[in-house]
Amino acid sequence: MHTYDDLLSKALLLNDKERALMAERLVSSLDPGYDINSEKEWQEEIERRINEIDKGKVKLLSWNTVKKQLR
């Protein structure tokens, strides 16, 4: 099985038209809702929340407390 780096190095040897066609096919194969920036954005959100917890800016609740408040 080829690795990403193997495939990329071979793809870069193609002429412009072939690379453009390959890029178009790859992009069209993605899930329509896929957002390349979403992973980075989620990681930033996770780090922001951890910082808030570490600095005591938020109050954490136990699962039992949350369940009681929902009733």
pLDDT in single tens digits along all 71 residues of the chain: 679 999 999 999 999 999 999 999 998 898 888 787 788 888 999 999 999 999 999 999 999 999 999 99
Q: Please give the model's pTM, rounded to 2 decimal places.
A: 0.46
What is the amino acid identity at position 10?
K
DSSP 65: H
Q: What is the pLDDT of residue 27?
A: 87
Instruction: Give Cβ neighbours of residue 71 (< 8 Å, ≥ 6 apart).
Output: none
